[in-house]
Amino acid sequence: MSARRALRGARTVVHASRPETGRQACGRSRALATVEAVKAPLVLVLLVAALAVAACGQSKAEKAQKQVCDARADISTQVDELKALTPTTATVSGVKENVTTIQDDLKKIASAQGTLSGDRRDQVKAATDQFVSSVSSIAKGLTSDLSLSDARSQLAQAAQQLGAAYSDSLGKIDC
């Protein structure tokens, strides 16, 4: 008798692990197929969206704007350094270095202007033209036939004028 009971228990175990009926299995297969069918396109859409966002980066206009703002900030730094010069700290080579850096920054701004949006391009061009005009006027006021003390005071005055010219022109560009 114990062999029969063991056999019956084995049948029960086998019965419990039997596959589901056709109707039950079909319903689950459809549900899994539906989930997989929705999952695949969703993953694909998310992947394409992630790649699109990563590939976008900055537009040409945004890069040009950054170039203008970086050059503008550097010009501000150079003008501040010139304004901070004193008769004892001013050197010809130091002033030339500041002026050369300002010229390079103005070239960077000019090269970026064409890529800026219409209104922005007009604003930057007008500010740059005004600043260059002011710098030219200031430079004309500096003469080389001065005594050392006159040259120092004229240099200090020119630096202050340069600071004002920057504030009135490039300083107004919104970055």
Cβ contact 116:68 at 8 Å: yes
Q: What is the pLDDT of residue 156?
A: 81
Q: What is the pLDDT of residue 75?
A: 97
Q: 84 — phi, psi (to 5°)? A: -80, -10
Cβ contact 112:127 at 8 Å: no
d(CA 58, CA 33): 41
Q: What is the pLDDT of residue 108?
A: 96
Sole residue written with tokens 């999952």 = 39
Total-model pTM: 0.64
Question: What burial letters (b/e) apply to 127-148, b meaning 16+ CB within 10 Å?
Answer: bbebbbebbeebeeeeeeeeee
Consecutive sets of 10 residues in the chain, 175 residues long: mean pLDDT of each?
50 49 54 56 59 66 94 96 86 86 96 92 95 88 68 82 94 91
Q: What is the pLDDT of residue 171?
A: 93
Q: What is the pLDDT of residue 78?
A: 95
Q: Residue 136: in which H helix or E strand, if any? A: helix 118-141
Cβ contact 60:76 at 8 Å: no
Cβ contact 70:104 at 8 Å: no
